[in-house]
Amino acid sequence: MFPHIRADFRRYLNAHGGRPTPGALWAAATEYGFLATVVYRYGRWTRRIRPAPLSWPFKLVYRLLAVFADLLFGINFSTNADIGPGLYIGHYGGIFLHGDMGHSCNVGQGVTIGYKGAGKSTRPPRIGNHVYIGTSAVIVGDITVGDHAVIGANTTVVKDVPPHYRVVSAAVRMTPIERETSG
């Protein structure tokens, strides 16, 4: 748990200049994305406590913290998801991370990663290392996103993405309005 949290913290510290000044340390430690990630890492740790009855008090604390993080930050993690170290969430709100992710990934605001919800998909997506996922991107189904891929803002991904590929939505097209609109 702690090595992953240290790697996550380094990503936030780098976003605040990279030098461990008191201001940068405070700014990194109070980022909503970082705080929600710490709660997730704690939740994953509680799953490994054996024998299981010993984990119950820790899991209760986790559930309370997870509800707090979900309501306050709008960031929802599944403890079934295996997320590597160095996760960076640049903004908060409307983020659902329910798939496996490699190390050093970036996640924007409004991102959804999870089950397809229809059909025969029984596995969530698997995201590689060093993947950038733009604002409001949706990645669903039993698919794989390769290492160093870039998923553009407002892009829905339902097919495998090879390593070192960029996926973006169709370009915006403007057309003139044929008649006057009211209201």
Q: If you average pLDDT over every residue of the chain, what do you get?
A: 91
Query: Residue 178: what pLDDT?
Result: 76
In a domain, 179, yes or no: no
Q: By residue range, what is the domain housing residue 147?
A: 2-167
3-state secondary structure at position 10: helix
The tens digit of pLDDT for each residue in 96-150 reads: 999 999 999 999 999 999 988 766 667 899 999 999 999 999 999 999 999 999 9
In a domain, 173, yes or no: no
**Residue positions annotated with a catalytic role:** 91
Query: Residue 100: what pLDDT?
Result: 96
In a domain, 183, yes or no: no
pTM of structure: 0.87
DSSP assignment of 18-67 equals SS--HHHHHHHHT-HHHHHHHHHHHHHHHTT-SSHHHHHHHHHHHHHHHH
In a domain, 110, yes or no: yes
Please report, for the domain that includes residue 161, its CATH number.
2.160.10.10
The tens digit of pLDDT for each residue in 65-90 reads: 999 999 999 999 999 999 999 999 98
Number of domains in the chain: 1
Are 34 and 6 in contact, with CB atoms under 8 Å apart?
A: no
Query: Residue 159: what pLDDT?
Result: 94
In a domain, 174, yes or no: no
Number of continuous H segments (helices) and E segments (strands) in the chain: 4, 13
Backbone φ and ψ of 89, nearest 5°: -110, 110
In a domain, 142, yes or no: yes
